[in-house]
Structure 1
């Protein structure tokens, strides 16, 4: 997990019946943030089992090469990927029980291509009814966040009537079957193919990672929404956005070579 509490401060603000949270990196804790992030990045691109097997069979240089070959090399793709990684990590640790059941970036078509479809879908299961609840997420990463970027994110959240797309859910279900998590795969298939997904079982998460303060933009975006689905906004603010991303990926490569 990315230990946000070790390097950021938090502020929460209600927006009508919805809410947003801003997570701000403290300058003095920047090295901690880089290390905490780098510690989880490799696992979003390659499973621990795959890396361990390469290490055992082929040795440390090959395992390091395996990791490095999966990391994007372009600034834009690194930025977008890291935004999705942060959204996934926030869902798993701070969303009140939702979990992102797969790490999508392990299945990228090419390391310098963006993933298609819903950025992240968090899922939690009611212990009594076994019904699934979904957190449909759009993650945006920009050195300078703008209203237009959030308009694009809103368009993504509103697709498919605001529900998780059938394609995204089918993708998750197929990966869960491969990973051996048959109960959750079956529950997703039941929701998608048998019962349907009512809007009250869905929440939206607009997650931003930016070099400028996101609070006013998140507030305006949430206020502009008039649909029936509950809205969350979460903004991670790191002033040295581009340099921070570069240092994170450099640290991932260094750690792989020195493991």
Structure 2
């Protein structure tokens, strides 16, 4: 799967110690974006190994039924989760953080999960951990109210990842066999207080309107001590894009 920059144009600017990235898709690339996003979705809800196991034991129709039973059907849930999925891909492929496909562990396909929207970890030279704490917002029109909601969430726990999110990630990594990284996260939680300088905030927005001006103003007014990366993905036909992505997912699941 390619990087998001294969179907968007990038504009980057520094705002003090912080960074603003505006990504936009036009009419010539939006279909590439639909294909890219649809390809990212299935493994956010179930691992390739799990789907292959269902396919082998119960057949194609049941494998499709199993996967689609995890995918939300409501417009609001689809919008929010697609924003989170694209944000996860951005953090993984553009920033190099280890991220979880946390939607695999949802209690209900229509209900949001607890904890930070996005949590990433990266092992730095010398063995220290760098953490990414993120909020993802998907709106047809981005407003100050939405940004204030994200701000409130990012500043909880003095800007550090929540204990719930850290524990969740450490447990999932342990189950997946990455015991070293799991133990490092547990040590950071239990023995070494995570310093704010180890954390980067990611405020990721997915919108129909151009978010650059409002994101710049929001970042200029930010007075927190944690470095912030603010990313705005703009797709003009926001709602149509979401609908087309999930239609593609459903069609692919039933025909593969």
Into which bin does the TM-score normalised by the smaller protein fall? over 0.9
User: 1:66-81 counterparts in 2 under 5 A?
Assistant: 66-81=66-81
1:18-75 Cα offsets, whole Å, 9 max, x none, are 1110110121111111111101101101111110001111111011111110100000
Number of residues paired by the alignment?
256
CA contact (8 A) 2:3 2:94 kept: no
Partner of 2:111: 113
Residue 45 of structure 2 contacts residue 67 of structure 2 at CA under 8 Å; is this kept in 1?
A: yes
Runs of 4+ with deviation above 6 angstroms: none
User: How do 1:1-259 and structure 2 match up within 5 A?
Assistant: 1=1, 3-95=3-95, 97-100=96-99, 102-128=100-126, 130-259=127-256
> Within 2, Cα distance between the matches of 1:176 and 1:246?
32
Task: Encode CA deviations 1:159-182: one digit per residue, 9 max, x unaligned.
Answer: 000000111100111111111111
Q: Distance in 1 between matches of 2:2 and 2:38?
A: 9
Q: CA deviation at 1:6?
A: 2.2
**Contact 1:2–1:89 (CA<8 Å) still a contact in 2?**
no
* CA contact 2:26–2:236 (8 Å) conserved in 1: no
In 2, Cα distance between equivalents of 1:239 and 1:126? 37
Give SS of 2:191's match: helix
2-side partners of 1:2 and 1:106: how far apart? 22
CA RMSD of aligned residues (A): 1.0
Pairwise CA distance, 1:258: 1.0
Do the aligned residues in 2 keep the contact of 1:205 with 1:234 (CA within 8 Å)? yes
Structure 1 residues not aligned, in runs of 5+? none
**TM-score w.r.t. structure 2 length?**
0.98
How far apart, CA to CA, are the structure 2 residues paired with 1:185 and 1:178?
9
In 1, Cα distance between equivalents of 2:189 and 2:29:
43
CA distance in 1, matches of 2:145, 2:253: 37
Give the whole-Å Cα distance in 1 for the aligned partners of 2:247 and 2:2: 17
Distance in 1 between residues matched to 2:10 and 2:121, nearest whole Å: 24
Asked if structure 1 preserves the Cα contact closer than 8 Å seen for 2:200 and 2:227, the reply is yes
Q: TM-score, normalised by structure 1?
A: 0.97
Contact 1:2 1:40 in 2 (8 A): no
Residue 2 of structure 1 and its aligned partner are, at CA, apart by 5.3
